Amino acid sequence: MKKTCLSLSFLIIFILSATAYAFYPANLYLWKKNPYDYGPCGFCTNYLNFVENQNRTNFSDYKLLTQAGYYYFRLTGHEGATVTLFGQPEYKTHEGYLIVAKKDSRDISVNDLEAFAPGEWVDVPATEGEGAYSAYYHPGEDFKDNVGSVKWGNWWGEGSHPK
């Protein structure tokens, strides 16, 4: 009886911890790197943290907006987490955007926002240190230097291609 209760207790704890992890919100850590700015820590830079479902229409109150350099990011969280970085405030698409959708629960890093074929979904396989994801890139002039808003989830509606 003790073994059954102990086994059942471990099973319940395992299920609850796995469930809690599965619903843990995703986080986007966005940095802006100036390749010519060396500080005591190497490439010193600040970052912005965006929690899943907390969209940001404008970065004007962050000093990263006016700094020279290009953006890169790390995305943590659950499988299916989807985030879009827009090249302009207010989710405007005419200056480019990048959609990233996680395919597993491992963290991913995107160091070059413009490295994807434009106008099509690109599958990026998992590596030893990073998870798998899909990306859709709509180019804009100097997009990687000018990210202006962030939106979570599927904003483009039905179908697999954004408009």
Please provide the DSSP assignment of the chain as one string: -HHHHHHHHHHHHHHHHHHHHHTSPPEEEEEEE-TT--BTTBS---EEEEETT--BS--TTSGGGGSSSEEEEEEES-TT-EEEEESSGGG--TT-EEEEEESSSS-EEES-TT-S-BTSEEEE---SSS--EEEEEE--TTGGG---EEEES--S-SSSS--
Q: Is residue 95 part of a domain?
A: yes
Pull the structure tokens for residue 108.
């991913």
Residue 11 has pLDDT above 90, yes or no: no
Total number of domains constituting the chain: 1
Give the whole-angstrom CA distance, residue 139 versus residue 143. Answer: 7
Interval 98-157: pLDDT, tens? 999 999 999 999 999 999 999 999 999 999 999 999 999 999 999 999 999 999 999 988
Contact predicate 12/60, CB 8 Å:
no
Instruction: Compute the average pLDDT of residues 71-98.
Output: 95
Q: Is residue 147 part of a domain?
A: yes
Residue 93 has pLDDT above 60, yes or no: yes
Q: Is residue 5 part of a domain?
A: no
Nearest to 92 by CA among 17, 27, 143, 160: 143
Q: Are strands 108-110 and 121-124 parallel, antiparallel or unpaired?
A: unpaired
Q: Is residue 157 part of a domain?
A: no
Interval 16-59: pLDDT, tens? 444 444 567 999 999 888 777 765 555 556 788 899 999 999 97
Bridge-partner residues for 71, per DSSP?
A: 32
Q: What pLDDT, on a 0 to 100 scale, did the predictor assign at position 17? A: 43
Q: Is residue 16 part of a domain?
A: no
Q: Is residue 19 part of a domain?
A: no
Q: Is residue 94 part of a domain?
A: yes
Q: What pLDDT, on a 0 to 100 scale, did the predictor assign at position 132? A: 98
Range of the domain at 131: 25-152
Q: Is residue 14 part of a domain?
A: no
